[in-house]
Amino acid sequence: MDRLFATYHIETAHPLEKAAAVMAGEQSAGTFVKVPGETPELLENHGARVERITELETVDAPTLAGSKPPKGTQAPVYRRAEVVLSFPFANIGTSLVSAMTAVSGNLYELGQFSGLRLVDVVFPDAFKTHAGPQFGIDGTRKLAGVYDRPLLGTIIKPSVGFSPAQTAELVKTLCDAGLDFIKDDELQANSPHSPLAERVKAVMHVVNDHAERTGKKVMVAFNISGDMDEMLRGHDTVLEHGGTCVMVNLIPVGLAAVAHLRRHSQLPIHGHRAGWGALTRQPYLGWSYIAFQKFYRLAGVDHLHVNGLRNKFTEDDASVLASARECLTPMLGGYTVMPVFSSGQWAGQAPDTYAALGSTDLMYLAGGGIVAHPDGPAAGVASLREGWEAAMAGIPLATYAETHPALRGALEMYGAL
């Protein structure tokens, strides 16, 4: 089994078999025009194969404009289907970049399709050569000293604008409040008003001091996103000051640079998916997160954002949970990453999150739920911890809140009591 499998949802006015054959041809040995050298032998060895076509529903109007129905069609009918293609090892080898090009290249622009989405990818065993997460769930837990419950965290807010000293001051408050994990905002990387090196120095001074006093080393994900050398330097600065995590905006930085960072890195890589919506929000275009995140896991990311239940964005809960489950499902026998729940999270979503996942191997990031708690940030963090305790014990939040005032405060604040 040395072939790469890719599953798509397509919509087309062409016969499904023909449309699928066009996909396979365009993304492997074929072209629009037959050319010399395109021998049966070459096609056999290098052609992508249509493995399966499962017809789905039919729609009257094309989802995406620009597609070209078969010539002479008066009232085209647009059929949807799930199509599985496979690509030979000979074309791609174990290159992540080549794999991404094969499964997602020109396909989206093919005239035959009024909809085309990559919904899953299955890599062959040959891809086990990729570094993958260096720390993953176990390594992250060990560094953070947190077991048997989610890592509770927050994002430094305002998103951008604080000086290194102001950031360090806020981090002090958040460490004192009892958090396990703090991250830079995706918008705050190495900027004129908060150069990364200065921020790392100021923040780690606080974190190290807190660790010395309490024995707890809070994990801070510093956003090192930037140019290649800038990221490697950023990583080294974080390491040098005793930091335990770096963060990268995966999409703006890109796959090859993330893989390169991984080879250099001695720290967990926290993967933020800023820009993701552009690739996914139209359900018959782009990518599912199931497919997308596999590339970055193989490249070596340790933590992956998956949004959160009842989030402030447009993604529904089923999609969030599918992403999180996928992060927790081993690939090629390993490569497990820690899903990061974020956006509108507070204790309130803990029971449903736990019930759906059956796991605490996750990061749970809250913002307003911590800093805006009526009894202060420490109560905010306590309310998250108590919410998860209740969830794990199968006790309703309202019941648990009777004896846990921090949780009660949170439930009151969110109008859930």
Q: Is residue 178 left, alpha or beta, with left meaning phi > 0 and alpha meaning psi from -120 to 50?
A: left
Q: Residue 266 or 399: which CB sits closer to its own copies?
A: 266
* Residue 215: CB minimum distance to its own copies, A: 28
Query: Distance between CA atoms of 308 and 320, rounded to whole angstroms?
Result: 6
What does the block give as tokens for 85? 């293609």
Stretch in the footprint of its own copies (CB under 8 A) among 52-60, 103-111, 237-245, 404-412: 103-111
Q: What is the DSSP string of 337-358?
A: -EEEE-SS--GGGHHHHHHHH-
Distances (CA, A) of 78 to 70, 86, 115: 11, 24, 9
* Residue 393: CB minimum distance to its own copies, A: 29
- Of 212, 201, 170, 233, whose CA–CA distance to 367 is shortest? 170
Stretch in the footprint of its own copies (CB under 8 A) among 22-30, 140-148, 323-331, 391-399: 22-30
Determine if 361 is a binding residue for its own copies (CB under 8 A).
no
Pick from 1, 56, 77, 90 the residue near its own copies by CB under 8 A.
Answer: 90
How many Cβ atoms from other residues are within 10 Å of residue 235's Cβ? Answer: 21
4-12/78-87 β-pairing: antiparallel
Stretch in the footprint of its own copies (CB under 8 A) among 200-208, 279-287, 331-339, 389-397: 279-287
- Which residues, including other chains, have CB under 8 Å from residue 328's CB and lie 6 or more apart? 336, 339, 357, 359, 361
Q: Residue 165 or 355: which CB sits closer to its own copies?
A: 165
Residues 213-252 that bind its own copies (CB under 8 A): 225-231, 249, 251-252
Stretch in the footprint of its own copies (CB under 8 A) among 7-15, 63-71, 77-85, 357-365: 63-71
Pick from 1, 278, 355, 393 the residue near its own copies by CB under 8 A.
Answer: 278
Q: Residue 76 or 145: which CB sits closer to its own copies?
A: 76
The answer to whether 209 and 411 have CB atoms below 8 angstroms apart is no
Total residues belonging to the chain: 417
Determine if 159 is a binding residue for its own copies (CB under 8 A).
yes
The answer to whether 381 and 179 have CB atoms below 8 angstroms apart is yes
Determine if 293 is a binding residue for its own copies (CB under 8 A).
no
Residues 163-192 that bind its own copies (CB under 8 A): 166, 170, 186-192
Each residue 334-353 as x (binds its own copies by CB under 8 A) or -, in order, gives: ----------x---------
How many Cβ atoms from other residues are within 10 Å of residue 107's Cβ? Answer: 20
Q: Say which amino acid occupies 56.
A: L
Q: Say which amino acid occupies 353.
A: T
- Which residues, including other chains, have CB under 8 Å from residue 356's CB and lie 6 or more apart? 309, 321
Pick from 158, 242, 334, 374 the residue near its own copies by CB under 8 A.
Answer: 158
Pick from 106, 214, 329, 399 the residue near its own copies by CB under 8 A.
Answer: 106
- Side-chain half-sphere of 129: how many Cα atoms within 13 Å? 7
Each residue 294-333 as x (binds its own copies by CB under 8 A) or -, in order, gives: -------------x----xxxxx-----------------
Q: Using a CB cutoff of 8 Å and minimum separation of 24, what contacts does 73-77 make?
A: 73/13, 76/13, 77/13
Lookup result for tokens 């729940």: 341
Determine if 54 is a binding residue for its own copies (CB under 8 A).
no
If binding means CB under 8 A, how many residues of this protein chain bind its own copies? 99
Pick from 15, 70, 93, 242 the residue near its own copies by CB under 8 A.
Answer: 93
* Residue 236: CB minimum distance to its own copies, A: 16
Q: Residue 274 or 322: which CB sits closer to its own copies?
A: 274
- Of 149, 152, 179, 141, whose CA–CA distance to 392 is shortest? 149
Residues 364-393 that bind its own copies (CB under 8 A): 367-368, 371-372
Determine if 108 is a binding residue for its own copies (CB under 8 A).
yes
Stretch in the footprint of its own copies (CB under 8 A) among 11-19, 156-164, 352-360, 385-393: 156-164
